[in-house]
Every structure is written in structure tokens, then in C-alpha cells.
Amino acid sequence: MNLKDVSSHKLFSHIYVEEDALSYEMTSRVISSLPGSCVVPIRHYKDVFNRKHQDIPCQTRGGKKLILAVNRGSLIYKGASVCQDFGNSEFFYATPAMNCVFDCDYCFLKGMYDTANIVLFVNTDDYEREVKKRLEDGPLHLHISYDTDVFPLEKISGIVSFWTSLAQELDGLTIEIRTKSAPSVFTPSPKIIYAFTISPDEITERFEHRTASLDQRLRSVSLAIKSGCRVRLCFDPMIYVKGYKEIYSRMTDKVISSVDLQAVDDMSIGTFRISGDYIRDLRKNAPDSAAVQFPFVKKDNVMRYPDVLEKEMKEYIRSRLKDVFDEEKIYEY
Ligand code: SF4
């Protein structure tokens, strides 16, 4: 099932709202966008989000709940070494939300959090203040969809619009918005990068539940390019399945034939990898998924495919792309 309309009343049966979050504009907007949801006041988001003995597969099947909260902790983090930096020596990410409307079997969030429920932070004024403070030290390249996919929350919250407006307004700020959805509204600006994860339909159908299909993503990519936006294509994470060459080959053919690649900023290629700290819980939360039950090897506390396979997978897709795209702008992870 693809997520067509996130403002559907059925998306969140319950919205938990911190008492401190009640007075924020985003809170009012979310609640009025979801009139069918039951609103439950709470003291602190951790009372719900961090509860012990939560069952992620069960919460996902039964419908994730939304929690509106004030982020009183860190608002911006420095990226870890497994993160993609695309040549930026300093790479940072913001956490406007925790957890995701989508449900990818292999998502590291399943290994990081004890819940499938989603926290959306409503105190955008504090994020703005923090960004301005960081900009005093120089330009800032900021990912805003690292612990979530923000696009499915846009209709109810305006979170994407907040960040795109901020990027346009503040000198030195560039934002990157990564997605597996297929947005249709874009803000063309040299300071906003729309990064699309490109996956074959066979992978999306098996492992990337509720995300947009390949055709939908590629239509959205073309629309972003036509609108004059900066676009990045991420063939990452590639997931190993039997017959992966044919599957990724068909996908690459489709990308080449349907996207004006000369208008694409850059690309990334990467195979699935995850911190060794998350693999146990990830496997527990996706017990039937071949994507995460693969016998990975551990290297520097990162679980990944064996070297030979990883190399073969990346080389396979690189060899197809380098014929049609400047190889220097293909980053590998
Ligand atoms: S879209 Fe990204 S953040 Fe959302 S579930 Fe999938 S991998 Fe996780």
C-alpha cells in the first residue's frame, strides 16, 4: 500500500500532546488537520515514547501513534562516520521528528528506538535559534530527514515548508531533504537539495512498506528537476536479493530512460549497512525479513555484506551509471 494521503483521519488514531506543546502553532495545525484522531494530553513525550516492553511489529500493524512534543535536548547533531557527507567536511543533521510514517524492514530506527510511535517536535522557533547560532561559525549543511521522512508529515504539519523557508532566508544554510515518498510541491533554490532514494519495485514491495513506487519517485524526480530544483539520486541502500542484478538493471534502465540525468546534482551508491549496536533489535523487530536476517559481517562495529558481495553490487550499478553520468559526481558508501 502506498501512502497517498497522509491527512487521512485513519493515519493516526491517537495524538499524544505534551502539555508544554499545546500552545504551539504546529500543534494546532496538526490537531485541526486530523479531526478524527483522539487527542490525549501527556506530561512528557518520553512517558509514551520510552515506555518499556513496547511491541514494534504490533504497533506498526495496529497503526502508529503521533506524539507532539517540545524538544528540550539537542536539536542539531554532527553526522557519524557511516553517514553520507557528499564531500562536505562538516555534515550535520537536525531531528524535527523521531521515527517514520513509512515502514522499511531494514530501517535503523527499528534498532534504535523501542517504539514505532512517532514524535514530531513542534518548537520550530528553537530550531531556528539553534541554526542561527551555528551559522555564526560558518556555513551549515543540514540534513533534516535523518531520523524520519518529513514529507509524509508535511500536509498536517508544514514541517517541510518551515525548513525550506529558513534555508531561503538564512545566508550560509543549505538543507538536504531525503525521501522515499513522491512529493509534488518543491521550492527551487540552490540552498535546498531534494535527495531521492531510488529502489527497484521488487525491493520496495518486499521491504519498504508504504513508500512510493519507483514510477512515483521518478515522476517526482522529474518534476523537481523541471521546477528548477537541485536533485540528488541515492541508490542506497542496495539490498541483496536473489537475482539482484536483473532487478537493479531494470531499475537503472528506467532511471536512465525517464530522468534528465544531466540536470541531477550528484548520485550515491551504497549497500545496506548498520551500526553493530542496532542489529540485534532490528532483527528482533523484523523477524521474517530477509533484508535484515542476512549473515552480515562486522567491520569496525558496522554490520555489512561481505566485502566481495558489497563490491560486486556497487560495481554493478556504478558500471551502468558511469556511461550516462559524470563518474566524479558518483559517491560511494
Ligand atoms: S523511509 Fe527512511 S526513515 Fe522512514 S522507515 Fe524507511 S528507512 Fe526509515
109 lines ligand 1 (CB under 6 A): yes
Query: Residue 80's pLDDT band (boundaries 50, 70, 90)?
Result: low
d(CA 61, CA 286): 12
Residue 238 CA, ligand 1 centroid: distance in Å: 14
> Which atom of ligand 1 has the smallest separation from the CA of 178?
2
Tell me whether residue 9 is in a domain. no
CATH code of residue 113: 3.80.30.30
107 lines ligand 1 (CB under 6 A): yes
Domain count, the chain: 1
What is the domain range of residue 140? 14-332
Query: Residue 90's pLDDT band (boundaries 50, 70, 90)?
Result: low
Among the ranges given (75-89, 112-126, 181-195), the one the predictor scored with the smallest mean pLDDT: 75-89
180 lines ligand 1 (CB under 6 A): yes
Residue nearest to atom 6 of ligand 1 (CA): 104
285 lines ligand 1 (CB under 6 A): no
Whether the pTM exceeds 0.85: the reply is yes
Tell me whether residue 327 is in a domain. yes
66 lines ligand 1 (CB under 6 A): no
Residue nearest to atom 8 of ligand 1 (CA): 107
Tell me whether residue 249 is in a domain. yes
Tell me whether residue 262 is in a domain. yes
DSSP per position, 127-164: HHHHHHHHHTTS-EEEES-SSS-SGGGHHHH-HHHHHH
286 lines ligand 1 (CB under 6 A): no
d(CA 333, CA 319): 16
Tell me whether residue 33 is in a domain. yes
CA angle, 60 then 117 then 292, to 5°: 55
Tell me whether residue 5 is in a domain. no
Tell me whether residue 4 is in a domain. no
Tell me whether residue 2 is in a domain. no
Whole-number pLDDT of residue 88? 60
pLDDT for 8 beyond 60? no
